[in-house]
Amino acid sequence: MYTELSTVASQEKLNDHTYLLKVKAQKIAKSVKPGQFCNIKVSETNYPLLRRPFSVCYTEDEFIYFMYDIHGVGTKMLSEKKTGDRLNILGPLGNGFNTEGDYDTAVLVGGGIGAAPFPLLTKKLEGKELITFMGARNSGQVIKWGMKNIVVATDDGSAGFHGNVIECFQSEVQNLENKKIRIFGCGPNPMLKALQKVSMNKYDCQLSMESAMACGFGICQGCPIKKSAGEGYYLVCKDGPVFNSDQIIIG
């Protein structure tokens, strides 16, 4: 884990809501795995006080990309950063996706800004058969940057499959029936809960969980998620954010 004073290289708007920030942060860029995250201090003052967690979206040489939507004051301030501005970044944090092992086809299932870790995961899985299911509210919110072989689902039917991304996945998965698949899911909790249900006792499935994360490395105890076996909780920041789908109970 490093703390780096990084420099903003570029900032781009990808669609109605989504931004892509590129920063120079050499040590983190060289060591991060897909599915890990960083905690960013979005301002040089004490407001907002807490760092914000962001999945690492992609890396290229000494640069890291973060993909994010504006949710509140922290992400609004981040969206106003310009080339040359400085950002204090802590990372890489968390465990990341496990891409090793025996499977034929990687199936990426994402909802909205849950797509954030998929470009780096796609890069890591290069050479492997891969299909990506991407869900969004409407065509203006579809994210495709850095992803491959994409099947789009929109809630209002304005692009691709008309329905949510889990329904879309279920309508296509029979085409993969003779393949050994591994699912990588990332998105809002209700989507991940539905994906967990669909995968139960059927598919190898890893889920990247979202949580409010203040410290990012197991100190504040502010990111618990219930274990499915035995008593107690995992910490999303330290034990995750990626879990096998049978490890956890999603609230």
Q: Applying CB under 6 A, which residues contact ligand FES? A: 213-216, 218-223, 235, 237
Quick one: 108 or 235, whose CB is closer to ligand FES?
235
DSSP-assigned letter for residue 158: S
- Write down the least CB distance from residue 217 to ligand FES, Å: 7
In the bound complex, what is the minimum distance in angstroms from residue 59's beta carbon to ligand FES?
23
* Minimum CB distance to ligand FES smaller for 145 or for 233: 233
Cβ proximity to ligand FES, 87 vs 93, nearer residue: 93
Nearer Cβ to ligand FES, position 72 or 101? 72
* Buried residues in 5-35 as b, exposed as e (16+ CB within 10 A): ebebbebeebeebbbbbbbebebbbeebbbb
Euclidean distance between CA atoms 51 and 47, whole angstroms: 10
Nearest-approach distance from CB 169 to ligand FES, in angstroms: 29
Rounded to an integer, what distance in angstroms lies between the CA atom of residue 183 and that of residue 123? 16
Please, are residues 135 and 111 in contact by the beta-carbon 8 Å criterion?
yes
Residue with Cβ nearer ligand FES (159 or 214)? 214
Closer to ligand FES by Cβ: residue 18 or 36: 36
Which residues, other chains included, contact 18 with Cβ-Cβ below 8 Å and sequence gap of 6+?
67, 68, 69, 113, 141, 143
Amino acid 53 reads P
Task: Tell me the three state secondary structure of residue 66.
Answer: strand
Q: What SS3 state is found at 183? A: strand
**Least Cβ distance, residue 32 to ligand FES (angstroms):** 18
Q: Report d(CA 67, CA 115) in Å as an integer.
A: 8
Residue pair 245/206 in contact by the 8 Å Cβ criterion: yes
Choice between 14 and 214, CB closer to ligand FES:
214
As measured in angstroms, the least distance from the Cβ of 221 to ligand FES is: 5
Least distance in angstroms from the C-beta of 211 to ligand FES? 7
Cβ 35 to ligand FES shortest distance, Å = 16
| Closest-CA residue to 211 (of 233, 195, 189, 184) | 189
